[in-house]
Amino acid sequence: MIEVQNNSVTTVLMLGGYDILIDNIAKEKAGAVKKEFETANLSLYRNLLLGRVTSSANVKEAVADIDKIEIDPVCIISITDKIRDDVFDAIKLFTDNGIKLKILSGDSAKAVQEVASEIGWKIANEELVSGDEIEKADEAKLKEIVINKTIFARLKPEHKLRIIKSLKSQKIYTAMIGDGVNDLPAIKESNMGIAMEEGSAITKEVADIVLLQNKFSLLPKIFDEGNLIVNSVMSVGKLFITKNFFVIYITLLSLLFLLEFPLTPRRVSLINIFGIGLPAFMITLKNSNVSKTDDFIKELFSFVLLSAAIIVGAGYIGVYFASKFYQVSERDLQMIMLTIMIITNIANYFSIVLTKEETNNKLLYVIYGFIILLLYIFLAATSLQSGVILLVKKFYEIDFVRPALWPVVMIISLISSIVLFYAQKLRKKILYRT
């Protein structure tokens, strides 16, 4: 609203949203304005109405009686939004990942609906709601509205904030993308706030992510990076927790059947190196799996419970057959069990990295895994007792495994590795089928 002086005559001009100010136009002129609006099909645009305030002599009077002012229309200003080319990638990303989109706007519902239709997103009239309805709704009604509606039009900052709070109260993870001060409360309240680079400074300050150059095409990259981190943590977690669980299994079996615990602390450290440390290094360095993890905890623990059981079972089977067919000491049995468990642990690493989701580095993973395998076999099979080899073998308590014992070690290790690899594939198939 502004005052214009012309030859000592004061005119008050008002500019605002068409659908808001149309009710303030005198009845005898409102019909002609609406007809012009419909004839020109201006609903496709964001529309502002400029008019002279005829019911007040100055801005002060007009503001004092703003709900009852009368306007003489001058013109309609129509603004079109330029559709960003990269918005299609962003929408495809959301739909592919089962993410629901909702538009929170200060513009009219019809204008937003038309812009959405230009990018092929058809939104029915039943999915539109205005800020006035949001304001009148109680909490129960609001929860129903925010779930069922898609376009929220003519919103004030407090309306946006209330919508975000309602979604969060229903345990729905929310991300809010905005650029202006009007979006600030909602961005701050949401689980993830995303601001545009050209947005207001304070909005960028409170946002978790700022899209450089206002590019929506960065969103798929953000999702991929997030999935990559989660999958890397998942893979390393599988290696680490598998070791923890098979130590727990061995401890329980030793208690229940009064067996001697076969692993010393230094040998557990050796398993950490060949079963966790070296494989985890390559996973974190080369992992390219950006697929979505649906249930982190279920996937993690179903994997480790199965792998740990197979690894421990293979170790004890090796001890049984070695005792039955060979003359062996207690140290021989401990080394047989340790060797079988380490080799099967390397197969566990293969079962993690050789999946259909990992498409780039399978050959590298296989080569690296066999290098780890050969390194351990060399340490266990060599009779060299000098230099660095002697120090490593003494520190980690790696006893010499005589050639006669290697057939039983390798046969059981091979069988257990194949069983583990395909058991994990079957587990995943059953798990995600149900």
Helix segments in 326-403, DSSP class H: 330-353, 362-381, 387-395
Closest among 205, 219, 228 to 175, alpha carbons compared? 219
Given a contact cutoff of 8 angstroms between Cβ atoms, the answer to whether 23 and 78 are in contact is: no
Given a contact cutoff of 8 angstroms between Cβ atoms, the answer to whether 207 and 194 are in contact is: yes
Given a contact cutoff of 8 angstroms between Cβ atoms, the answer to whether 357 and 430 are in contact is: no
User: All domains of the chain, ordered by start, with CATH?
Assistant: 2-79 (no CATH), 87-217 (3.40.50.1000), 221-433 (no CATH)
Dist. CA 316–CA 310, nearest whole Å: 10
Q: Strand, coil or helix: what is 428?
A: helix
Dist. CA 281–CA 112, nearest whole Å: 49
Dist. CA 314–CA 311, nearest whole Å: 5
Which two three-digit tokens encode residue 176? Answer: 């809010």
Given a contact cutoff of 8 angstroms between Cβ atoms, the answer to whether 24 and 72 are in contact is: no
Per-residue pLDDT of the chain (434 residues; tens, 9 = 90+): 787 777 777 788 888 888 778 888 877 888 888 888 888 877 777 788 888 888 776 777 777 777 778 888 888 888 876 777 777 777 777 887 788 889 998 887 887 888 788 777 888 889 999 888 998 899 999 999 999 999 998 898 999 999 999 999 999 999 998 888 889 999 999 999 999 888 888 899 999 989 888 777 788 788 888 889 999 999 999 999 999 999 999 999 988 888 788 888 999 999 999 999 999 999 999 998 888 887 899 999 999 999 999 999 999 999 999 999 888 899 999 999 999 999 999 999 999 999 888 878 899 999 999 999 999 999 999 988 888 999 999 999 999 999 999 999 999 999 999 999 999 999 988 887 75
**Sign of the CA dihedral running 264, 266, 269, 270:** negative
Closest among 161, 153, 215 to 183, alpha carbons compared? 161
